[in-house]
C-alpha cells in the first residue's frame, strides 16, 4: 500500500486515482473545480465512464479514496504525486502548459521530504525537465520527476488502466524507478509490461503513438474515398489488410474522421514541436489535412444527394459524442458536420445516449435534441449515423422506414449491411463502400 496524490480529477486523474485505490493504494484526488468536487463528494460522477460508478463509492467507503481541493496537504501526505491536469491546445496548436506549471509550483511549495512527481498529463518533449527546474528553483527538498504517459481510451478507461498493453516509465532516478515499480506491482504481477526508458523518449512515445493511430485513420479514410471512385469496398480492403501480421487489424476503420480530446490535440502539439526544431513531419501534416476534410464528408454526401440548399430538409443524426461509451464532445466530427448541414438550411435533430448535455454546450440550440433514436428521424429525409453506439447496430428498420419522409441512410461508421438495406428500399451510402 502506498500513499498517492493525483492532481487533476478529470478523465485521466479520476480513472487513475480510482484504479490505484482499487489496487490497494490510498489515494487523494485533488481538483480546484469546486463543482466537480461537490459532485464527487455527493457520491456521483462528473463524467460518464463505464465501471467507475461502482468503483468510486466502493473505494470511498473503504477509506482508500478521497477528494479534496487541498493540494498542499495531499502532497505532504503522499510519497507519489501525479500531475494529471489538462494540457489543452493553445491558439497556435502547441500544448498549453499553464495548468501543469501552476501545479508544479504548488507541489514545490508543499514538498516535505523525498517525493516522486509523476507526469501523467500528455506534455511536449522536455516538459518534465522544465518541471524539474521549476521545482528545484522553489524547493530544497529531494524529489524526482518521472514521465508516465497514459494510454487509456475513454469509454473503456477502467479496463484499459487495469490491463494496459504496457506501462511506460521515463525516469533516471533509481529511487523513483523503485517507487514506480512498487506502485504498479499489482498490474505487473498480473502480466502488464513495464517499459523503462529515459524521460524524453517516454514523452515522445505518447505523442508518436497517438500520431501513428491518427495517421492510420486518415490513411484509411483517404483509401475509402478512392475505393468509392474505383468501385472497391473499403470493408473488404480493411479485412484483407488487417490479416497481414505486419499491419494488424486495429485502427483501420474508415469513418467520419477522428476527434476527441487526444488525437487532434496531440497531433497538433507534435507538429508544433517539429516546427520548433525545424524538422518537418510531412506525413502528420497530411494526416491533419485529411481529417479536416473527413469530418464534413458525411454532410457533403448528403448535399450531393439532396442538393446544396437543404432548406425544408430534416436530417436525423444518431450519435454526437466523438465515439461510443462517452459523453465527450471535444473535437467531435458531429460538430462541423452539423454546422455544414445547418448552414445549408437543414433542420438537424440528433439523438445520443450520453452526450446530449455536453453536445448542447457546444452546439446550443442550432440543432434539436431527441429523446430516443426514433424521435430523431420523425419526418426526416436522411439519417446520418455518426457515432457507433451499440444501440444503433440493429434498429427496427421497419419502424425507421415508416417514420422517415425520404429514405437516405448515411452510415458514417460502416456499421450496417448495405445489401439488406438496399433491398428494403433505403438509399444507403457508407464510407468507401460499393
Ligand X SMILES: NC(=O)c1ccc[n+]([C@@H]2O[C@H](COP(=O)([O-])OP(=O)(O)OC[C@H]3O[C@@H](n4cnc5c(N)ncnc54)[C@H](O)[C@@H]3O)[C@@H](O)[C@H]2O)c1
Which spans of this chain sit near ligand X (rule: CB under 6 A)?
7-13, 30-33, 36, 84-87, 99, 102-103, 121-122, 150, 152, 154, 261-262
CA distance 245 to 260: 28
CA distance 80 to 4: 5
- CB 62, CB 20: distance < 8 Å: no
Three-state secondary-structure class, residue 163: coil
Other residues' Cβ atoms within 10 Å of the Cβ of residue 26? 19
φ and ψ of 429, to 5 deg? -130, 125
CA distance 426 to 398: 11
User: Minimal distance in Å, beta carbon 8 to ligand X?
Assistant: 3
Three-state secondary-structure class, residue 390: helix
Instruction: Name the residue number minimizing CB distance to ligand X.
Output: 10
CA distance 323 to 259: 8
Which is closer to ligand X, CB of 31 or CB of 381? 31
User: Minimal distance in Å, beta carbon 374 to ligand X?
Assistant: 31
User: Minimal distance in Å, beta carbon 270 to ligand X?
Assistant: 12
Which is closer to ligand X, CB of 103 or CB of 400? 103
User: Minimal distance in Å, beta carbon 370 to ligand X?
Assistant: 27
Alpha helices per DSSP H over 189-317? 199-230, 234-242, 263-276, 282-295, 297-306
Catalytic residue among 19, 29, 128, 262: 262
262 is catalytic: yes
Which is closer to ligand X, CB of 36 or CB of 313? 36
Which is closer to ligand X, CB of 162 or CB of 348? 162
Which is closer to ligand X, CB of 213 or CB of 237? 213
- Give the chain's radius of gyration (CA, Å): 23
User: Minimal distance in Å, beta carbon 32 to ligand X?
Assistant: 4
Active site residues: 262
Amino acid at each position: 500500500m502506498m500513499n498517492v496524490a493525483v492532481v487533476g480529477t478529470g478523465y485521466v486523474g479520476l480513472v487513475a486515482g480510482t484504479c490505484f485505490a482499487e489496487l490497494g493504494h490510498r489515494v487523494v484526488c485533488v481538483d480546484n473545480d469546486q463543482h466537480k468536487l461537490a459532485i464527487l463528494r455527493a457520491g456521483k460522477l462528473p463524467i460518464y465512464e463505464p465501471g467507475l460508478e461502482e468503483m468510486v463509492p466502493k473505494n470511498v467507503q473503504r477509506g482508500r479514496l478521497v477528494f479534496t481541493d487541498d493540494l498542499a496537504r495531499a502532497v505532504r501526505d503522499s510519497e507519489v504525486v501525479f500531475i494529471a491536469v489538462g494540457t489543452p491546445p493553445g491558439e497556435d496548436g502547441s500544448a498549453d502548459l499553464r495548468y501543469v506549471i501552476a501545479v508544479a509550483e504548488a507541489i514545490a511549495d508543499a514538498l516535505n521530504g523525498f517525493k516522486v512527481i509523476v507526469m501523467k498529463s500528455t506534455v511536449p518533449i522536455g516538459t518534465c525537465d522544465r518541471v524539474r527546474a521549476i521545482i528545484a528553483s522553489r524547493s530544497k527538498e529531494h524529489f524526482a520527476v518521472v514521465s508516465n504517459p497514459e494510454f487509456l481510451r475513454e469509454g473503456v478507461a477502467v479496463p484499459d488502466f487495469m490491463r494496459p498493453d504496457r506501462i511506460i516509465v521515463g525516469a533516471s532516478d533509481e529511487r523513483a524507478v523503485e517507487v514506480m515499480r512498487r506502485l504498479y506491482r499489482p498490474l505487473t504481477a498480473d502480466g502488464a509490461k513495464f517499459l523503462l526508458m529515459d524521460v524524453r523518449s517516454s514523452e515522445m512515445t505518447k505523442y508518436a503513438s497517438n500520431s501513428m493511430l491518427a495517421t492510420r485513420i486518415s490513411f484509411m479514410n483517404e483509401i475509402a474515398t478512392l475505393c468509392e471512385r474505383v468501385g472497391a469496398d473499403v470493408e473488404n480492403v480493411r479485412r484483407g489488410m488487417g490479416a497481414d501480421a505486419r499491419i494488424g487489424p486495429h485502427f483501420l476503420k474508415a469513418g467520419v474522421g477522428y476527434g476527441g480530446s487526444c488525437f487532434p490535440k496531440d497531433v497538433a502539439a507534435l507538429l508544433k514541436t517539429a516546427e520548433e526544431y525545424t524538422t518537418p513531419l510531412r506525413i502528420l501534416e497530411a494526416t491533419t489535412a485529411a481529417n479536416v476534410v473527413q469530418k464534413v464528408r458525411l454532410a457533403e454526401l448528403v448535399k450531393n444527394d439532396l442538393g446544396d440548399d437543404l432548406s425544408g430538409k430534416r436530417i436525423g443524426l444518431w450519435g454526437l459524442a466523438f465515439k461510443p461509451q462517452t459523453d465527450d464532445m471535444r473535437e467531435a466530427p458531429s460538430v462541423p458536420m452539423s454546422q455544414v448541414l445547418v448552414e445549408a438550411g437543414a433542420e438537424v435533430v440528433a439523438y445520443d445516449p450520453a452526450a446530449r448535455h455536453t453536445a448542447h454546450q457546444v452546439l446550443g440550440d442550432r440543432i434539436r435534441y431527441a429523446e430516443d433514436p426514433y424521435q430523431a428521424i420523425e419526418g426526416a429525409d436522411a439519417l446520418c449515423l455518426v457515432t457507433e453506439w451499440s444501440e444503433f447496430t440493429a434498429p427496427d428498420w421497419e419502424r425507421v422506414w415508416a417514420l422517415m419522409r425520404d429514405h437516405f441512410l448515411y452510415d458514417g461508421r460502416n456499421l450496417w449491411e448495405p445489401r439488406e438495406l438496399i433491398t428494403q428500399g433505403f438509399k444507403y451510402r457508407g464510407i468507401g463502400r460499393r
